[in-house]
Structure 1
Amino acid sequence: MRNIAALFSILMPGFGQIYNGQLMKGTLFIIVEHFHNIFGRINQAIHLDFNGLHQQAVETTNFGYLLLYPGFYAYCVWDAWYNAKPNADKTKTAIPFITGGFLGEIGAIFGNRLPIPTLTIAMLMIIPMICGMIVFRDQ
């Protein structure tokens, strides 16, 4: 199922590809995901942010690596969702995922000005992608 593959990738980029049977691609995406998390200190920032330490979360994050993450994340979710259905329309279905990646980049750029940075950036990415999965569910 397409939505299950996409939800697996929302949880952890690469899991949707593994669910689709693309083991090498999924493993590569998991390695790249861990690279982004370790060097960008994304998980530490999420932990601090969700515990109310918003300024410390911003200070902990390495924005050089964080700025690479939203596009990668949106691509992983789209790739898992798109490849779960044979002969899917590639041109239209990518638009909500590109939008999610773009909004995530904008959120990351202005993250130090957001009240709850990690949650806001995550919702900027995930909401357009889920809307796209609903709108394009038959394509």
Structure 2
Amino acid sequence: MRNIAAFFSMLMPGFGQFYNQQCAKGAFFIVIELFENIFGRINKAIQLDFNGMHQEALHTVNYDFMLFYPGFYVYAVWDAWYYAKTGADKKKTALPFLIAGIIGEFSAIFSSKFAVPTLSVGLIMIIPMVAGMIFFRKQ
């Protein structure tokens, strides 16, 4: 089922690819995910941000690595969702995920300017992804 593959990739990029039995691609995505999280300190920054320590989160994260992450994350989810069913229209189904990636990138770029929890604003990118999965469910 497509949504299960996508939700596995939302939990950890690469898990959806394993669900789709694309083991080499899944392993590659997991390596990239770990590389991004370790060197970008993204998980630590998100944990600090969720606990109200917004400025400390901004000082913890390595922006050189974090700016790559939203696009990669959205691509991993779309890839798992798209390849779970053959015959879908690649151009149409990618549009909501592209919008989600743009939202994630802008939230990462401007995270220091937000008055609300900064890095967690990037989680808004999940909304267009889920909307796209619902809207294009029969594709």
CA deviations over 1:12-55 (Å, ceiling 9, x no partner): 00000000000000000000000000111001101111111010
The residue aligned with 1:120 is 121
Please state whether the residue corresponding to 1:94 is helix, strand or coil: helix
1:102-127 Cα deviation digits (max 9, x unpaired): 1100000001122212221112x111
Q: For 1:34 and 1:22, locate their aligned partners in 2 and report how far apart those are by CA, in whole Å.
A: 18
Q: Which amino acid aligns with 1:90?
A: K
Letter of the structure 1 residue corresponding to residue 84 of structure 2:
A
Gaps of 5+ in 2: none
1:17-32, aligned counterparts within 5 Å? 17-32=17-32
Q: Which residue of 2 aligns with 1:57?
A: 57
Is 2:43 the counterpart of 1:43?
Answer: yes
Cα RMSD after superposing both structures = 0.7
Give 1:9's aligned amino acid: S
Helix, strand or coil for the counterpart of 1:13? Answer: coil
- Amino acid paired to 2:106: I
1:90 corresponding residue in structure 2: 90
Q: What is residue 111 of structure 2 aligned with on the other side?
A: 111
Q: How far apart in 2 are the matches of 1:64 and 1:103? A: 18
- How far apart in 1 are the matches of 2:118 and 2:39? 18
Q: Deviations over 1:70-126 (max 9, x none)?
A: 110110000000000011111100000011011100000001122212221112x11
Runs of 4+ in 1 over 4 A off after TM superposition: none
CA distance in 1, matches of 2:102, 2:89: 21
- Which residue identity does 2:104 align to in structure 1? G
